[in-house]
Structure 1
Amino acid sequence: MSTALKEQPDRNKTRLLLKLFSPIIAVIILIATDANFYVYPIIFSLVISLTNLEHLKPKIIIGITLSIVFSYVSFFIGILGANVFDKVIEILSLQKEFKVGIWLTVDLVYTLSTFILSPLAVFFLFKFIFEFPKTKITRWTQYIAIIILIMNSVIPESAFGLFNVFNFWQIIMILSLQIIMNQRALVFPEGNQVKSSV
């Protein structure tokens, strides 16, 4: 009996470590398989759902399927958003790109669609299939993830080496979802007090 009780915390720690390292696992899969751009949402959704089966609201098969569907919806929202923003900027005769400092150039359309609209879509849609605690930790994790992604948009892609900006997107978004869903296990005090969102 005591052995079983000892093994339980160890198993929980191993699972938590797997969740926290899952962003790296996802990117390793993408790099190793040289995955097509349109495969990214599948890897993203499978890594999130398979490491968080206990946080799924629907039954497992339905939950994983919805995770894949919502991942693609968010993906195409980003692409559609880019086209819409591009047309709006063109109609308003606004400058599409602007410089930050001497060396860095920001593509406004790219930043709005990929690093703001698409992540917001993920956070909004995934809360319908996963348990998202209603805490400040949840809100701040979302804010910080988007801020990091926006900052990432001003870094030249050549600076990433093996990583491209979309691999970096995967790392930040998977890690933020893991923190949100597992904040109680990560011993955030507020995460232990508030019920999951509906």
Structure 2
Amino acid sequence: MPLPLVLGHEGAGVVEAAGSAVQKVQPGDHVAIRFLACGRCRPNLDGSSAGCANFNAMNFAGRRQDGSHALALSDGDAPSDRFFGQSSFAGNAIAHEANAVKVRKDAPLELVAPLGCGIQTGAGTVLRALKVTVGSSFAVTGAGAVGLSAVMAARVAGATTVIAVDMVPSRSELALELGATHTVSGKELDAVSEIQRITGEGVDFALEPPACPH
């Protein structure tokens, strides 16, 4: 995306204004903001918004699909915006009703914000893509937002061996609190050998979270 650029994803906040065509949310609603999908391509119509054929154009082009911008600079020029359909590092973010998800007003916004990317990426991969099964073994490399969400989802799915690999002790401790049965220090041990030692042969399912803005 060309500079200048307003980044920011995993936004959450209170709707201050809504366009005349918006039906899904109204001023005063609390929302979490996720990525933007076109809603018209085949993957979207088949139920996979993350597989949107226009994902890059909707989230990384730096402008709306018609070429216009949601933001403007004081000199009249326009910065690249619409990052993940929101550019929510700004004090106010302009989203689309398609990626603004209404949440309960008593839900802390700082806790629901990660639902917009990290949590749905980790949990969605485990539950929808990998389809982790009851009694299976699962390992995730990295215990950040995506990895920890995957750990929780693996336990929900019924995995009985859940291994989190990370180099930061505090993250490993949190992984155990959230459902991991084992942790492996990738800094001190060979992760593959240690996983094989724990399981006897290896895991049924494994996830290496993608490099993303977390």
Task: Give the shorter-chain TM-score range.
Answer: under 0.3
1 or 2, which has the higher strand percentage?
A: 2
1 or 2, which has the higher helix percentage?
A: 1
TM-score (norm. length: structure 1):
0.23
Q: Which has the higher contact order (CA 8 A, sep 6+)?
A: 1
Higher gyration radius (CA) = 2
